[in-house]
Structure 1
Amino acid sequence: MLSPQWLRTFAAVVEQGSFTRCAEYLDLTQAAVSQHVQKLEERLGPLLIRRPRQLELTPAGRALLDYCQEVNAADQRLEKRLSEQDDTHGEIGFICPGSIGLVLYPMLLNVQQANPGLMIRQRFAPDSEVLDAVLDNRFELGLTTLKPDDSRLNVSSFAEEPLELIAPAAERVENWDDLKRIGFIDHPDGRAMSSRLISRYYPDAPGVAAIPTRGFINQIGLILEPVSRGLGFTVLPRYARLAFQHPERIQVIDGPRLVKDTLWLIHRAEWPLSTRAQLVIEKLRAQIYSL
């Protein structure tokens, strides 16, 4: 690898037109300037033709000067990227569970519409994948339903997400027997969520395993479709229900107390958030609290 100091000296020699002026410009001795150019010529061959009042570049010298300019441009791009203070341009990587993601994605698009220089990259994923993606620096921001315990992460409360028992709008749901009659629409987290909620709503009931399953779907955005058609009830986080396009076809069955999860915002703790990410967090918090 060529020494950056040698490259700077060579570019300055060409720019100043002489070894003497280069030495004054870089605050080096003329011997140091000569030594730097000599080191380069030992590696690359003749670079300069030295005439009494003129320096002429050889083909290798011209190629090296082009390389110096490319390195300098790359350095400037790196410095600009590392010192980026523009919160309205660049990419935002955001990874989160599907339920909250359904609500947040339109909000992210609102932010992007207001700031066309931003590029939003969102992925829906379970907690384990969210953690890995943020720790591997593939996504700058993430949300999890379980609070991580990892010193490499900065963790803060983002929002609370209640679970809801959701039934077809036309059904009467007054007790446990009504749930058994209607049947259950299952999904990947369905039984775990339903067990938590039903144990609070109907503490003396045998549990969701005693209820006939009427269907299963693994796409978060489609779980309420069979419910809206009268095929069964389900249990989902509130944000998934808020994103459903036909709220008139479903109903939320209230219980004696809320069952809530905290959503945790995570990002790497070893370096500061970009100003773009700070802007997005601020806008998302404002919108999610208004729901």
Structure 2
Amino acid sequence: MLNPQWLRSFAALIEQGSFTRCAEYLDLTQAAVSQHVQKLEERLGPLLIRRPRQLELTPAGHALLEYCEEVSAADQRLNKRLSEHDDKHGEISLICPGSIGLALYPMLLNLQQTNPGLIVRQRFAPDKEVLEGVLENRFELGLATLKPDDPRLLVSRFTEEPLELIAPVSERVEGWEDLKRIGFIDHPDGRAMSSRLLSRYFPEAPGIGSLPCHGFTNQIGLILEPVARGLGFTVLPRSARLAFQRPESIQVIEGPRLVEDTLWLIHRAEWPLSTRAKLVVKTLKAQIEGLSLRNHACRRA
């Protein structure tokens, strides 16, 4: 195994570009830096071509520099794993559907502003990508609309998310024929959500497949734009509607009963959540529940 101090000296030498600056940077003597490089060259062969005011790497030197970078990255990963007890520093990684993600992202940013040592990494994705992202350890936390049964995952209820039938404010919607006339704006989860909601609202109707489709987009923030322009209706979770910037141009069509999707929190079962992940889950659940209570009170008023 190569001496870590030799590797640090070599990487710093290439970064600084000269033995003098490297020695000053590492608080070593120039002779010590030269000795470290000499020890490496005794093991690996020539690493540098020394020219006036320039150091040129040999093929072996390039390979060693890549190795130094890999060692540094591994060292950072180890420090990150060893600091998982720290709830004020480190990465928060969450993958979730875009609808609830629109509501959660500002909450995560508020948490980061309160704790500047945190780093927020959030991705919007459908259920399949959510499961893959958590199982492959690319994200510590995930939210899914379908409850997974993979034994490698711990699954718990996060919240309920009401689905809403949303139409242009200019349209009058009293029955199935009105929806047929207006047309449907589809999105990646559109048909599944619409089937769940419309089967409750119109149990005798032939289903979403019988309605004309007037558009499709996979960008969660844009789904309501064609609705606002009078081009069709759609079905979305309430959080997506609340995030829309022109609420005066759309309307929610009330039905005979509330239709909700359960959102499931998932993470790997083989190891415990980091302390910061536990803080995030606790904070987000409290804020989402508070938001739900306020929305319920507004609807009753």
TM over 0.5: yes
Structure 1 match to 2:286: 286
For 1:208 and 1:77, the matched residues in 2 are separated by 48
Q: Percent identical across equivalent pairs?
A: 78
Contact 2:221–2:240 (CA<8 Å) still a contact in 1? Answer: yes
Structure 1 match to 2:210: 210
**Aligned-pair distance for 1:85?**
2.7
The one-letter code sitting in structure 2 at the alignment partner of 1:114 is T
Please give the secondary structure, in 1, of the residue aligned with 2:271.
Answer: coil
Structure 2 match to 1:100: 100
The one-letter code sitting in structure 2 at the alignment partner of 1:166 is I
Post-superposition Cα deviations, 1:145-181, rounded to whole Å, max 9, x if no partner, equal 1111122211110011121100111221111122122
RMSD of aligned alpha carbons: 2.8
**Aligned-pair distance for 1:86?**
2.0
**Aligned-pair distance for 1:208?**
2.1
For 2:144 and 2:176, the matched residues in 1 are separated by 32
Post-superposition Cα deviations, 1:235-280, rounded to whole Å, max 9, x if no partner, equal 1111211211111211111111122211111111111111111111
- Check if 1:230 corresponds to 2:230: yes
**Aligned-pair distance for 1:75?**
8.1
- Alignment CA distance shift 1:63-1:145 (3 Å): same
Post-superposition Cα deviations, 1:68-101, rounded to whole Å, max 9, x if no partner, equal xx99xx9899467425432111111110111111
Please give the secondary structure, in 2, of the residue aligned with 1:119.
Answer: strand
Please give the secondary structure, in 2, of the residue aligned with 1:290.
Answer: helix
For 1:137 and 1:81, the matched residues in 2 are separated by 13
Structure 2 match to 1:125: 125
Structure 2 match to 1:173: 173
The one-letter code sitting in structure 1 at the alignment partner of 2:231 is L
Structure 1 match to 2:87: 87
Please give the secondary structure, in 1, of the residue aligned with 2:279.
Answer: helix
In the alignment of these two chains, the number of paired residues is 232
Contact 2:80–2:90 (CA<8 Å) still a contact in 1? Answer: no
- Alignment CA distance shift 1:274-1:204 (3 Å): same
Structure 2 match to 1:137: 137
Structure 2 matches for 1:138-157, cutoff 5 A? 138-157=138-157
Normalising to structure 1: TM-score of the pair? 0.72
For 1:277 and 1:174, the matched residues in 2 are separated by 45
Normalising to structure 2: TM-score of the pair? 0.70
Larger Rg: 1
- Alignment CA distance shift 1:172-1:116 (3 Å): same
**5+ residue gaps, structure 1:** 3-58, 65-69
For 1:206 and 1:154, the matched residues in 2 are separated by 38
Post-superposition Cα deviations, 1:121-151, rounded to whole Å, max 9, x if no partner, equal 0111111111111111111111111111122
For 1:142 and 1:87, the matched residues in 2 are separated by 18
